[in-house]
Structure 1
């Protein structure tokens, strides 16, 4: 899981980022730091809500992870997207990932502050080897994405790429993986490995 194309990534959340508001499905804004102030936290940043690769990835996460086990291990897991608040419910229905664990940053402020990449071309977005979590064919996925964009409200910047980060309660960033394409993200198996590794020696 070697990610070499890192941009400038901070080692700790500053006050500007920590106090930035992200929003839940009920349009309630909370400070970004609230997501990790109580315990060690993994946050997966995805592309737009209509990205079929992101949907397949988060769907795999929802299938593979025992959320009750996360509580016992004293570690949080959240998904953050850059789409509209209205997209959270549908994304949750599509992926079976709990909607209360999904937040949005429509301004992409957290993405920029944490050093995530924004592709310059669609070919860059689609580059890279197909992820093991991607079950949808490219043709079907693109058709589904196109239909969603036409029929539903815009659900995020199509050029924005995501990443996976682990935060300590004091805002220190102890793990960073910056996606370099839609396929270039941590797999669900790798997320499970991170949970196992970083939840060890944490008191319940």
Structure 2
């Protein structure tokens, strides 16, 4: 029997859309049967997300994190029609218990697919970072509008006022983004190095084949008459 070949994709940094020198070895075979859970606690294997079509899969740190909340705020602005026209599936995966999904979606108005990996099996097997690394050359995320101090205060307030008080995941776990499918093809991978290291959404959409470009700026629009 022929030996299966693991999919290897190159990671694209936010500094450049050119591929960098190092490659990220992504073996979907290692995680395809890991269970993820929907908002009702119903489980499905991870491979169901990408086996029949191309999917953009976003892994977030935890639902209390202000930067993840603001990133998903912007993901919620992606029209369903744009995804449908490109035959693209958009999925967010968190690492909390499934009971936190509904409040998080209500907060962010996120209308697309969302699941959780409460044991962080997929995060760990794919090798996502469990620490934060900041560099002087890092570009600020276009999707995080709050400063770090203000954002942390918002996160603390949400934790204190949550009826399901807990940390909603490992506070040290970073997320990432994959474009995978159909089947075990991996087209792109980015593993976040810190809470602000999200892949710009328009880049992800363009890499996945979505033609529409969205404006995620929080600056007021000037209407010329």
Which category of TM-score, normalised to the shorter sequence, fits these structures?
Answer: 0.7 to 0.9
Q: How does 1:152-191 map to 2 (within 5 A)?
A: 152-191=165-204
Relative to total residues, which structure has the larger strand share, 1 or 2?
2
Q: Is the 8 A contact 1:126 1:183 kept in 2?
A: no
Q: Contact (CA 8 Å) 2:52, 2:183: kept in 1 or not?
A: no
1:103-142 alignment to 2 at 5 Å? 103-119=115-131, 124=133, 128-142=138-152
- The alignment status of 1:9 with 2:25, answered yes or no, reads yes
Whichever structure has more helix as a proportion of its residues is 1
How many angstroms does 1:196 deviate by? 2.9
1:26 aligns with 2:31: no
User: What root-mean-square deviation, in Å, do the aligned CA atoms of Structure 1 and Structure 2 show?
Assistant: 2.5
Q: Which runs of 5+ in 2 are unaligned?
A: 1-11, 15-19, 213-225
Greater relative contact order (CA < 8 Å, ≥ 6 in sequence): 1
Equivalenced residues, count: 192
Is the alpha carbon distance of 1:9 and 1:147 closer, same or farther for their aligned partners in structure 2, counting shifts above 3 Å? farther
The answer to whether the 8 Å contact 1:167/1:174 transfers is yes
- 2:104 counterpart of 1:88: no
TM-score by length of 2: 0.76
How much has 1:68 moved relative to structure 2? 2.0
Tell me, in whole angstroms, the C-alpha distance in 2 between the residues paired with 1:7 and 1:31: 26
Mapped partners of 2:57, 2:46: distance in 1: 11
Q: Is the 1:20–1:32 Cα contact (8 Å) retained in structure 2?
A: yes
Give me the whole-angstrom Cα distance separating, in 2, the residues matched to 1:7 and 1:46.
Answer: 22
